[in-house]
Amino acid sequence: MREHKLEIRVSYADTDQMGVVYYGNYLTWFERGRTELLRESGLAYKDMEKQDVYLPVVEASCAYKAPACYDDLIIIKTIVGKIGRSSISFSYEIYRKDGNKLLATGETRHAFINRERAIVPAPEEVSKRLTE
């Protein structure tokens, strides 16, 4: 399955008063990684939406291993998981670039839906591009 790595720097706005990344921001980073993986695969979200395909998160988890802190360079590794009839999953690993320290792992599962919020089959093009 396809995977992607995205490097970002932790901004001050990502952290709490102690300079440690706020826990909810990891889910935002998962989204950034997933968006870039799809874009790199030729599947930009905005183009999918123009074709009446949406991918809402229906399940999410995150396990925190070590804190990320202000000004850290981090790597968000996103991996395509299972592509089902009408769903897709992704897994994530977040590392501190300096020392390659694992900071968090997680997963998200998404349904394929249309504009009316009805579940639809996974488009063949999505499956093809993400399993190449």
Which amino acid is it at 90? F
Q: Name which of 101, 93, 116 is nearest 67 in CA terms.
A: 101
Can you say how many angstroms the Cα of residue 107 is from the centroid of all Cα atoms in its chain?
8
Burial of 51 (0-12, 13-18, 19+ CB in 10 A): exposed
Which of 16, 47, 52, 71 is an active site residue? 16
SS3 67: coil
The question of whether 16 is a catalytic residue gets the answer yes
Q: Name which of 33, 17, 16 is nearest 106 in CA terms.
A: 33
**Active site positions, annotated:** 16
